[in-house]
Amino acid sequence: MPDGTVAELFREGRAPRAPRVSVVIPTYNEARNLPHVFSLLPADLHEVILVDGHSVDDTIATARSLRADVRVVHQNRRGKGNAMACGFAEVTGDIVVMLDADGSADPREIPRFVEALTSGADFAKGSRFINGGGSDDITRMRAWGNRWLNRTVNVLFGTRYTDLCYGYNAFWAHCLSALALDVADRGSSGRLWGDGFEIETIINTRVAKAGLRIVEVPSFEFVRIHGQSNLNTWRDGLRVLRALLVERVNGTGRAARRRTSIDVAASTAAPAVTPGDEQAAARLAGVRSA
């Protein structure tokens, strides 16, 4: 079926089947965390795509021992952004879920994201800073930086994001054309622009520029179970700020514009709010894209 068909049928209440959900999990030495993460995945997923970033532990073997049907993809460069792009290129489902492998994101929230999408959204964005969300991991410095980056993105792109720098998101597969992520092998094993932690910012700004319908979904972030994060507050904060400026002036995403407005809903319960629900109207914040 053409991209967008399943999503449109759900909006119209004529969907013949449940959407097929693909979960993309970037990994780098996450063997000790995978048993916890995989044990919490919903049973009815269409596929689990594990993207390995040149791990030197038993990440791949552990994943295959935990789930025989896991699809393993080897990224062609380095960095989370490149891993996500490589995983997205292999998706065969209707809905794509971005899930970290360190245990910080709760796989049991996936149905919440899926419901937001089947209720009318194109892109379901996780937020730690709306009612029902939270974090055991974010530091005061990172929270301060996130607030200023939120203000910047909302000014530059006309959005009302509450949590720009959070990577737990889900979207219909037809949104991939708006993301326009590059998975071509350019003969470099290092990072290129977009291959790092700025990937969430690039995705969030491009769906805004494309005029896609965005719904914020409450999500709770836990502390990483094992290992240390590769996130560097200042270095990656500057990459995010640079990404905002680059994405503001480039045209990537605008060609995929499908609507003239973005609806950002700060959902207050586990089930996502249907945009047309009169009782939820007070919680819907409609803003126009840049």
Domain ranges of the chain: 5-287
Distance between first and last Cα of the chain: 31
pLDDT tier, 231 (very low <50, low <70, confident <90, very high otherwise): low
Name 24's bridge partners.
49, 98
Mean per-residue pLDDT, 56-76: 97
Q: What is the CA radius of gyration of the chain?
A: 18
Supply 152's token pair.
């910047």
Name 72's bridge partners.
50
CA distances (Å), origin 218, targets 11, 160, 235: 22, 15, 27
Containing 255, the helix (H) or strand (E) segment is none
Evaluate whether the domain defined by 5-287 bears CATH number 2.40.70.10: no
Tokens 């690039």 correspond to what residue? Answer: 202
Mean per-residue pLDDT, 191-195: 76
Question: What is the 3-state composition of the chain as percent helix, strand, coil, each rounded to the nearest 5?
Answer: 35, 15, 50
Residue 280 has pLDDT above 60, yes or no: no
Tokens 């590059």 correspond to what residue? Answer: 182
Residue 4 has pLDDT above 80, yes or no: no
Mean per-residue pLDDT, 113-131: 96
Full DSSP string of 115-179: HHHHTT-SEEEEESSSTT-EESS--HHHHHHHHHHHHHHHHHH----S-TT---EEEEGGGHHHH
Q: What does pTM read for this prediction?
A: 0.82
pLDDT tier, 189 (very low <50, low <70, confident <90, very high otherwise): low
Do 137 and 268 contact (CB within 8 A), yes or no? no
